[in-house]
Amino acid sequence: MSESIRHDGDTWDLASSVGATATSVAASRALASRGPDALIHDPYAGPLVEAVGLEPLIRLASGEVNVEDDPMLSRRHMTEQIAVRTRFFDDFFTNAARDGVRQAVILASGLDTRAYRLSWPAGTVVFELDQPQVIEFKTQVLADLAATPTVDRRAIGVDLRDDWPTALRDNGFDVNQPTAWIAEGLLIYLPPDAQDRLLDSVTTLSAPGSRFATEFMAAGTTLPDSWRQRFKDWSTRIGSDIDLPALIYDGDRNSAGDYLAERGWKINVRTARESYAVNGFALPDDETMAALSDTSGYLTATLAPTH
Each residue's pLDDT tens digit, 86-107: 999 999 999 999 999 999 999 9
pLDDT at residue 290 in the model: 77
Q: Does residue 7 register a pLDDT over 70?
A: no
Q: What is the residue-averaged pLDDT of the chain?
A: 89
Share of the chain above pLDDT 70, in %: 91
Cβ-in-10-Å burial (0-12, 13-18, 19+) of 69 comes to exposed
pLDDT at residue 229 in the model: 76
**pTM of the predicted protein model:** 0.92
Mean pLDDT of 42-55: 96
Check residues 306 and 131 and name the one with the higher pLDDT. Answer: 131
Q: Does residue 14 register a pLDDT over 90?
A: no
Domains observed in the chain: 96-303 (3.40.50.150)
pLDDT digits (tens, 9 = 90+) for 208-243: 999 999 999 887 777 767 767 777 777 777 777 777
pLDDT at residue 232 in the model: 76
3-state SS of 101-167 is CCEEEEECCCCCCHHHHCCCCCCCEEEEEECHHHHHHHHHHHHHCCCCCCCEEEEEECCCCCCHHHH
H/E run at residue 300: strand 296-303
| The one-letter amino acid at 109 | S
Neighbour tally for 270: CB within 10 Å: 17
- Quickly state the pLDDT bin for 295 (edges 50, 70, 90): confident
Check residues 132 and 287 and name the one with the higher pLDDT. Answer: 132
Q: Does residue 8 register a pLDDT over 70?
A: no
pLDDT at residue 18 in the model: 72
| Pairing mode, strands 125-130 and 103-107 | parallel
Among residues 203, 207, 161, 205, which one has the least CA distance to residue 186?
Answer: 161
pLDDT at residue 120 in the model: 98
pLDDT at residue 239 in the model: 77
pLDDT digits (tens, 9 = 90+) for 150-200: 999 999 999 998 899 999 999 999 999 999 999 999 998 888 999 999 999
- Quickly state the pLDDT bin for 6 (edges 50, 70, 90): very low
pLDDT at residue 204 in the model: 98
Q: Does residue 121 register a pLDDT over 60?
A: yes
Neighbour tally for 293: CB within 10 Å: 18
